[in-house]
Amino acid sequence: MPVISPNAFAPPAANASGPVSAALRERVRQLERAHSAQRMGRETVPLGLPEIDRLLPDGGLLAGALHEVEAGPAPSGRVAAHDGAALGFTAFLLSRLGPGTLLWCRQPAGADAPLYAPAIAAWFDPARLLMVTARREEDLFWAMEEGLRTPGIAAVVGETRAADPTAGRRLSLAAEKNGVPALLLRPQPAPPQSVCTTRWRIASAPSSVAPAPSPDLVQARWQVELRRNRFGLPSVEETPSWLLEWNDETRRLAVVSQAQHGSAGAPQRQRLVG
């Protein structure tokens, strides 16, 4: 499948067909697997978006691992005004997981805007949430770790600006040991020194250009970058990036073809997943 990179100076496509490169890739994969024996046998959760799953180890998000979702700057380069899109993407990731309690820890900061369950209900039942407020970051990380160790917890989410590599490593280990995913939701990009398995940067993108008289906001668009992909497959681009569209009415997230992004008239080819 041809992939059109927005970056014309990207390195040559690694998945260019050819027996040599295919063999090399297989070899690299084996080396990587041997190198990361700890990953073996761990469960993965497919996102249901083939374009993204293709790059993830075993075609999905590693369950027992730490993942970070951060709100990226707006397309214009300005600091994101809010992390509503990142929260939406986090909720989408959680919706892919199995049943069980979701421990949601947050550290209130500035204007207090907690998640709003009527909107979250589009992804999962908010009755599953156990909401925890921690004033100090060490309390937040402690609560997350406790949650990871508890049976019956499907996932642990931490909403914080704090980036503590030691805490990140501890969370990562606890997640690995118990096979429960830990997610850090950051309202701003954090310094990239943490030990997370994947780091996603989400920015709101202008929604599809609809005819002027009836502007429609039903379909929110997110620019999603996979900035770190441990154990994953190498990608064509340095940081693989997709434009996703969330449809409020059909409750579906789909990858919008990059080539058609912004072209108003073209019929939209998209993949629908639930």
Partner 1 sequence: MRLADSRALLPDLVTAPVDPQADRRLIEILASWCDRYTPWVAIDPLGDAVAVEDTDPCSAGGFGGDAGLLLDVTGCGHLFGQGSDKGEAGERALLADLTERLSRHDFACRAAMADTAGAAWALARFAEKQADLFCPAKGQRDALAVLPVDGLRLDKPILETFLKLGLRRIGDLYSLPRAPLARRFGDQPLTRLDQALGRIDEPIEPRRPPPAFRTRLAFAEPIGRPEDIAAATSRLLAALCRQFEQASVGARQLEIALYRVDGSVDRTAIGTSRPNRDAPKLMNLFEEKLGELDPGFGVELVILSAPEVEEWTGSQDALPEAAMRNPLAEDGTIDLADRLAIRLGKDNVVRLLPRDSHIPERVQTTAPISDPPAPEGAWARLASMKGPRPTRLLQRPELVEIMAAMPDDPPRQFVWLRHAHKVVKVEGPERIADEWWRPRPGGKVMPANIVPPVRDYYRVEDDDGGRFWLFRDGPMNAAKWFLHGFCA
List of residues contacting partner 1 (CB under 8 A): 74-76, 78, 80-85, 87-88, 91, 99-101, 103, 111-122, 125-134, 139, 142-143, 146-147, 150-153, 203-207, 215-218, 220-223, 246, 248
Shortest approach of partner 1 to residue 179 CB, angstroms? 14
Q: Which is nearer to partner 1, 17 or 249 (CB)?
A: 249
Count the residues in the chain. 274
Q: Which is nearer to partner 1, 5 or 150 (CB)?
A: 150
Shortest approach of partner 1 to residue 46 CB, angstroms? 21
What's the CA gap between 116 and 111, in Å, rounded?
14
Q: Which is nearer to partner 1, 209 or 272 (CB)?
A: 209
Amino acid in the structure at residue 186:
R
Say if CB 38 and CB 176 are below 8 A apart.
yes
Shortest approach of partner 1 to residue 29 CB, angstroms? 35
Shortest approach of partner 1 to residue 230 CB, angstroms? 27
Shortest approach of partner 1 to residue 139 CB, angstroms? 6
What's the CA gap between 103 and 130, in Å, rounded?
5
What's the CA gap between 265 and 201, in Å, rounded?
29
Output the six-digit token pair for 244.
Answer: 């996703």
Q: Which is nearer to partner 1, 152 or 265 (CB)?
A: 152
Q: Which is nearer to partner 1, 56 or 180 (CB)?
A: 180
Say if CB 81 and CB 74 are below 8 A apart.
yes
What's the CA gap between 14 and 268, in Å, rounded?
27
Strand partners, 222: 204, 244
